[in-house]
Amino acid sequence: MIVVSSKSELRQQIKTWKQAGETIAFVPTMGNLHSGHISLVTEAKKHASKIVVSIFVNPMQFNNPDDLTNYPRTLEEDSEQLISEGVDMLFTPTPEIMYPKGLDVQTFVEVPGISDVFCGASRPGHFRGVATIVNKLFNLVTPDVACFGSKDYQQLQVIRLMVEDLSLDIKIVGCDTVRTEQGLAKSSRNGYLTPKELEVAPLLYQTMQQLAQDIRDGIAIEKAVAKATLTMNQSLFTTDYFHVQRADNLSQPTNEDKELVILAAAQLGFARLIDNLVFSR
């Protein structure tokens, strides 16, 4: 596996591959890799001849400095996993490489509307940071395909809209959420959970499943959401939100809409857990 940190090295290798007729699939990550990330690499192999992974903890998408400081960084272990998975190149830039002028004067990309609701309302500026860094990475890697996990459903929709609006010639592939046997979505933030909290954590997915069933059974969305919130708050969770939206564009559903998505976020100890569930009624 080739490991590069400079833009020039990255671009030169990409140029060499493309001149040889290779296609490129890209998996952007913030590191601390788990089986969910590896599933993205597995999917990427289905779409291209060369696989590029980036590891970059993006300061622009953190509105809490302590969260940025404490975010787990495990580059050596991550590299070993990627080598064993046959990744062709790992890009490991620093903030100084990605934002040489500093964040205060950095040109940014923002997807209007969808970036300001749900997680965007709870974490102001988060999706501006996501859209900006993903666009910068796309410009550097120039992939044919890019793979993202569906656990961050809102993020995936932000990226899809950005690619569409900016006319980027990149196929965005959303990959299924990888879960533990108990249903907890795999996430780097699960490492913040205590053993007791890990026992409780699957309740988030279980509550979403019950919420979906309640809506299928004809219970009004507002009443079903209130029930789900109460269930969560009677455990160790503090619920941030449950939202039931149209699955295609995250707009407010009507009674005629059949394809829906539950978006959920809740605090458990030091970890803010997010998850989603797409379902039909």
Catalytic residue among 37, 47, 126, 243: 37
Q: In Å, how far from its chain's centre is CA 262?
A: 16
Q: Is 37 a catalytic residue?
A: yes
At 241, list the tokens: 């939100």
For 143, half-sphere exposure in the C-beta direction (CA atoms, 13 angstrom radius) is 30
Instruction: List active site positions.
Output: 37
